[in-house]
Amino acid sequence: MPKITILEKTNLQEDCWHSMLISLLRGLAALVVAAAHLRAQMYPGFGTVTKPPLLFQGLAFGAGFAYLAVIVFFVLSGWLVGGSFLNKLDADRAFQNYTIDRVSRLWVVLVPTFLIVLLAGAVVGALDTARVSFSTSEPYSMSAFFGNMIGLQTLIVPPFGGNFPLWSLANETWYYVLFPLLVLVFRGRTIATRAAAVLAIGAIFQLVHGSILIYFSIWLLGAAFSRVKIEAGPLWRWSLLFLFVGSAVVIRLKGKTDITPEGFPQYLVFSLLLVLFLSSMQFKRRLGPKLDWLDRTGRFFANFSFTLYVLHVPLILLMGHLLASMLGLGQLSPYRLSHYLMYGGMYLVLVVGAYLFYLPFESNTPRVRQWLKMQLFARVRAVRT
């Protein structure tokens, strides 16, 4: 029978099986989301295609896992972000460091991405470059720009520039805020601190919509199971993997295809199977060329998965505009093999473009983070002196 152990600290060691799997899942999730949105933008809807070819059926089926990929992001974010914060909770300036880490993680990528969004909007004619808008209802307004920086998209402003995947960043942003507040409720040093945390949580509950709050439990599930180690034999681990993959296929074929309160039960089961499987894989992996190659591949795509996630829609918009203006193609045809090759080429541009964009920005997040901490803490020391 499996043995369950509650860990004192989240295991973030990179030479363990679960760490390699987390990297692979992060990279794969971003790749699936980009493929799904490219297919939706460049091909007609599956239901509108008469006698869809087998190749198109396969493309549509594979791209249909995009919502599950977002759920994977929520679970892994809770595991990594929540688990890392709990590990550092007793360190000096734990909450200040956490705040800088989260802000830099988002803004180092979002600010340059939003500039690309503006460029794409200007090229396709969706942005009126002759005026500056501050309306909270316009996607290219200054209000939308700054609102998306602090997670207010879908709450007060629309996703900036029509970059609709940014809806999930509103969830992530408020999860980043709610989690340390929950920790303060239980670990605050004074009654006043705990009371202030409760009031802040109440205010956030009034601001955000129900879907954000419901799916916070999935984020918390990842954080909680980051402290759970399940020692089990191969049969148990393979069974959990089979159930996890099987649940994904069942949800894809029979379940809800959007992230709403009605679809929460199916995603909760899916998430529970995922964290159980990851917890059962918390042991050292054997060294070998094949596993090392798999580990490097997973980390390569995981490193720029965030950039790919937030950048791919404006890139799709630009490529779609070029395709229409140069070749007169508004959409690709499901019946032409050459169009699948074009789709593959466009997808390759998305991935390579995101990687090249990652190099000057997201890859330098640790340096920006360290610089911010040096500046902030140096000023704090100077003020105290």
Give the DSSP letter string of 306-362: HHHHHHHHHHHHHHHHHHHHHH--SS--TT-HHHHHHHHHHHHHHHHHHHHHHTTTG
The one-letter code for the residue type at 135 is S
Tokens representing 59 are 């493309």
Q: Residue 380: pLDDT above 90?
A: no
254-285 in b/e form (b: 16+ CB < 10 A) is: ebeeebeeebbebbbbbbbbbbbbbbbbbeeb
> How far apart are alpha carbons 56 and 335 in whole angstroms?
8
Q: What is the pLDDT of residue 2?
A: 86
Q: What is the pLDDT of residue 259?
A: 87
Q: Residue 379: pLDDT above 80?
A: no
Quote the DSSP letter at residue 129. Answer: T
Tokens representing 125 are 């004619």
Span 59-77, average pLDDT: 95
Average pLDDT, the chain: 94
Span 229-247, average pLDDT: 95
Domain ranges of the chain: 3-384
Q: What are phi and psi of 273, to 5 degrees?
A: -65, -35
Tokens representing 155 are 């709450």
Q: What is the pLDDT of residue 277?
A: 97
Q: Residue 188: pLDDT above 80?
A: yes
Q: Is 104 helix (H, G, I), strand (E, B) or coil?
A: helix
Q: What is the pLDDT of residue 291?
A: 83
Q: Residue 382: pLDDT above 90?
A: no
CA dihedral 85, 218, 176, 96 (to 10 degrees): -10
Q: Residue 154: pLDDT above 90?
A: yes
- The pLDDT tens digits of the residues spanning 308-364 come to 999 999 999 999 999 998 888 889 999 999 999 999 999 999 999 999 999 999 999
Q: What pTM was computed for the model?
A: 0.94
- The pLDDT tens digits of the residues spanning 78-111 come to 999 999 999 999 898 999 999 999 999 999 999 9
Cβ burial, residue 306 (10 Å; 0-12/13-18/19+): buried
- Which residues 6+ apart lie within 8 Å of 259 measured at CB? 67, 70, 71, 211, 215, 267
Q: What is the pLDDT of residue 68?
A: 96
Span 167-187, average pLDDT: 96
- Which residues 6+ apart lie within 8 Å of 236 measured at CB? 2, 230, 280
Q: How many CB atoms lie within 10 A of CB 12?
A: 15
Element (H, E) at 215: helix 210-225
